[in-house]
């Protein structure tokens, strides 16, 4: 069950009391029971945390009021798109830990022309300051139909921009931005569109949706990434 309230004319969801009580900190004991996850389309310039910031930045508390739910992985302040939250410790680890290699797909608006050569370079792998990184899938993307960003990106008439789709199974700090920069395509806008089986489709910025999942459905055999 899920309940919802509408304070300040904004839909805000929270997990049912029974679900949060049964799942709280029960990672090792939850087995493969169906569990609730909350999907959020995080808007631009929102911190991936609930606690207030000292500089007044917006946080997840603006959209979610349930105390016993936590982000399963983070999304940069200046990135947008899908976040997954849950109240079960084991499920949180499966979603966020690099060792489970849950795939995440991003759409990156970049400065320059994102051609197949750039995509191939990302597939072969690039060297970052914290080690090699490679995309599982990458390719040029026709300009997608997305919500407007507030504020919009700064366009330069003298420089073309284009879009790339990039799928990775890691989550290092600002990894996708650093990868596109490594192939000469600085990221202007970054939207995470999917995490594992979940997609941001149907969610406007700030909106949430509850779904049910079994932990076993998210686990797949680990594969070592080839060296760069």
Percentage of the chain lying above the pLDDT 90 cut: 67
- Give me the pLDDT at residue 30, please: 55
Please report the domains of the chain, with CATH numbers, ordered by start residue. Answer: 2-100+199-218 (3.30.70.580), 104-195 (3.30.70.1560)
Which pLDDT score is estimated for 215?
87
* Alpha carbon separation from 170 to 22, 68, 100, 217, 225 (Å, rounded): 30, 26, 9, 18, 10
Mean pLDDT of the 193-214 span: 96
Burial class, 148, CB count within 10 angstroms (exposed 0-12 / middle 13-18 / buried 19+) = exposed
Active site residues: 76
- Measure the CA–CA gap between 2 and 18, rounded to whole angstroms: 10
Tens of pLDDT, residue by residue over 11-38, are 443 333 333 344 444 444 457 889 999 9
Work out the mean pLDDT of the chain and round it to a whole number: 85
Residues 59, 146: Cα–Cα separation, whole Å: 22
CA 207 to chain centre: 14
76-124 pLDDT, tens digit per residue, is 999 999 999 999 998 999 998 888 889 999 999 999 999 999 999 999 9
pLDDT at residue 221 is higher than 70: no
């Amino acid at each position: 069950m899920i309940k919802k309230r509408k304070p300040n004319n904004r839909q805000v969801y929270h997990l049912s009391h029974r679900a949060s009580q049964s799942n709280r900190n029960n990672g090792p004991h939850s087995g493969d029971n169906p569990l609730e996850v909350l999907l959020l389309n995080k808007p631009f310039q929102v911190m991936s945390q609930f606690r207030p910031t000292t500089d007044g930045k917006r946080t997840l508390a603006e959209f979610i009021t349930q105390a016993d739910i936590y982000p399963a992985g983070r999304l940069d302040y200046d990135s947008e798109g899908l976040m997954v939250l849950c109240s079960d410790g084991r499920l949180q680890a499966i979603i966020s830990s690099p060792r489970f290699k849950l795939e995440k797909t991003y759409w990156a608006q970049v400065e320059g022309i994102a051609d197949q050569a750039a995509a191939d370079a990302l597939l072969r792998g690039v060297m970052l300051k914290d080690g090699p990184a490679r995309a599982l899938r990458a390719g040029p993307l026709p300009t997608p139909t997305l919500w407007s960003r507030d504020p919009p990106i700064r366009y330069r008439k003298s420089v073309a921009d284009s879009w790339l789709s990039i799928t990775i199974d890691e989550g290092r700090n600002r990894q996708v931005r650093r990868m596109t920069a490594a192939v000469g395509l600085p990221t202007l806008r970054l939207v995470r569109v999917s995490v594992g089986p979940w997609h941001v489709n149907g969610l406007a910025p700030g909106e949430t949706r509850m779904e049910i999942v079994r932990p076993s459905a998210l686990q797949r055999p680990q594969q070592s990434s080839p060296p760069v």
